[in-house]
């Protein structure tokens, strides 16, 4: 996956979370539930190596939408 594609996916995730927040959805709860569901999903075992990073991205993007400082980017 190219860096461009990665950034496009990150921007898409941020857009989805921002839209959810504007609809009144608790995006922190949504992100945590998605992370739990991801951890419990055994249907794509070849994808397991990416789960920790995916969970971190969920939390990071959620924080960005909430306006938290992300100087580590």
The pLDDT value recorded for residue 2 is 81
Does residue 73 belong to any structural domain of this protein? Answer: no
* Closest by Cα among 49, 46, 71 to 60: 71
Q: Which domain holds residue 13?
A: 3-65
The model's confidence at residue 69, banded by pLDDT at 50, 70 and 90, is low
Query: The whole model's pTM is what?
Result: 0.81
Does residue 55 belong to any structural domain of this protein? Answer: yes
Does residue 60 belong to any structural domain of this protein? Answer: yes
Query: 30-36: long-range contacts (C-beta < 8 A, 24 or more apart)?
Result: 30/62, 31/58, 31/59, 31/61, 31/62, 34/58, 35/59
* Closest by Cα among 15, 17, 44 to 33: 17
Does residue 72 belong to any structural domain of this protein? Answer: no
**C-alpha triplet 3, 36, 2: angle, nearest 5°:** 10
Report, as an integer, the average pLDDT of 20-28: 97
Tokens of 3: 């860096």
The pLDDT value recorded for residue 17 is 97
């Amino acid at each position: 996956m190219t860096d461009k594609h990665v950034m496009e996916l990150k921007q898409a995730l941020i857009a989805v979370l921002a839209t959810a927040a504007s609809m009144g959805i608790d995006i922190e709860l949504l992100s945590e539930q998605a992370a739990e569901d991801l951890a419990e999903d055994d249907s794509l075992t070849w994808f397991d190596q990416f789960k920790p990073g995916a969970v971190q991205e969920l939390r990071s993007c959620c924080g960005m939408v909430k306006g938290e400082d992300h100087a580590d980017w």
